[in-house]
């Protein structure tokens, strides 16, 4: 079984980098050889293409649902996304891209979990996370590790976070329409 932990985001767009920061901090752990940790700045079709060849994927990304304060953690699946993920006006959305993959029998993961961290600022260029999002990094890491363990996938401990308890907040489906 091939597993991919993928941090998504734009490293120079403030809180939009949080997914990448989480992935980078997990990269150095002693993972088994069938588990890959990486980061990427893509969505829609490109994201779907990146997932080809894996059985399980955990994506980490920023979210702007407005339903929770900055730093809150959501545990979602692609089915929870109302329509789009990193949608731009020249791409398909992740749910659509995944349906395309299924239609074409592309070997995409049978299970995708998304750890989404509520962001504060994603429209301003900058290399720092806002304080609430920075403070959420340990919980986000733990959420990833717990998701893996729940599926029977061995995940190493992240030393500094050992004392952080609790599962991510219960499934929240972000409001789609203002």
Partner 1 sequence: MTTTKTMTTKRLTIDPITRLEGHGKIEIFLDNDGNVANTYFQIPELRGFERFCVGRPIEEMAIITNRICGVCPEAHHMAAAKAADAVYRVDPPPTAKMLRELLYSAFYVTDHTTHFYALGGPDFIMGPDAPVAERNILGVIHKVGLETASKVIQCRKIGHTVVEIIGGRKVHPCTSIPGGLTKGITEDQRVEIEKMGRWAIDFAQFSLKLFNEIVLGNKAYVDLIVGDIYTHKTYYIGTVDANNKVNFYDGKVSVVDPEGTRIGMYAGGEYMDWIAERVEPWTYLKFPYLKKVGWQGFVDGKNSGVYCATPLSRLNAADGMATPRAQEEYERFYATLGGKPVHQRLATHWARLIELLYAAERWVELATDPQITSGDFHTIPTNMPSEGVGIVEAPRGTLTHHYWTDERGIVTKANLIVGTTNNYAPMSMSIKKAAQAFIKKGVVVTEGLLNRVEMAFRPYDPCFGCATHSLPGQMPLALTVRDAEGNIVAELSQHTDSCTMRP
- Answer yes or no whether residue 37 interacts with partner 1 by CB under 8 A: no
Radius of gyration of the chain (CA): 15
- By CB under 8 A, tell whether 29 contacts partner 1: no
Please tell me the distance from the alpha carbon of residue 74 to that of residue 32, in angstroms, as a whole number. 26
Residue 119 engages partner 1 in binding (rule: CB under 8 A): yes
Site for partner 1 contains 99 (CB under 8 A): yes
# chain residues binding partner 1, by CB under 8 A: 54
DSSP collapsed to 3 states, 76-90: ECHHHCCCCCCCCCC
> In 10 A of CB 158, how many CB atoms?
17
By CB under 8 A, name the one of 46, 55, 68, 146 that touches partner 1. Answer: 46
Q: Residues 78 to 97: which contact partner 1 by CB under 8 A?
A: 81-94, 96
Kindly state the smallest distance separating residue 40's Cβ from partner 1, in Å.
Answer: 7
The length of the chain is 178
Query: Which one among 100, 138, 156, 169 touches partner 1, defined by CB under 8 A?
Result: 100
170 interacts with partner 1 by CB under 8 A: no
* Comparison of 29 and 42: residue with beta carbon closer to partner 1: 42
Distance CA 68, CA 21 (A): 21
Instruction: Choose between 49 and 161: whose C-beta lies nearer to partner 1.
Output: 49
Distance CA(31)–CA(46), nearest Å, equals 25
Instruction: Verify binding: residue 132, partner 1, rule CB under 8 A.
Output: no
Residues 1, 19: Cα–Cα separation, whole Å: 23
């Amino acid at each position: 079984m091939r597993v991919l932990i993928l941090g998504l985001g734009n490293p120079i767009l403030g809180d939009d980098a949080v997914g990448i920061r989480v992935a980078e901090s997990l990269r150095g752990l002693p993972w088994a050889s069938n588990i890959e940790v990486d980061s990427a700045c893509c969505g829609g079709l490109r994201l779907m293409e990146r997932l080809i060849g894996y059985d399980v994927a955990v994506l980490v990304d920023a979210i702007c649902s407005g339903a929770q304060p900055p730093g809150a953690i959501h545990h979602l699946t692609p089915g929870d996304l109302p329509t789009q993920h990193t949608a731009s006006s020249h791409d398909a959305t992740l749910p659509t891209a995944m349906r395309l993959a299924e239609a074409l029998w592309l070997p995409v993961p049978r299970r995708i979990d998304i750890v989404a961290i509520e962001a504060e600022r994603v429209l301003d260029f900058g290399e720092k996370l806002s304080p609430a999002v920075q403070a959420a990094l340990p919980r986000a890491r733990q959420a990833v590790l717990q998701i893996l363990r729940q599926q029977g996938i061995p995940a190493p401990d992240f030393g500094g976070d050992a004392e952080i308890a609790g599962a991510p907040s219960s499934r929240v489906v972000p409001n789609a329409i203002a």
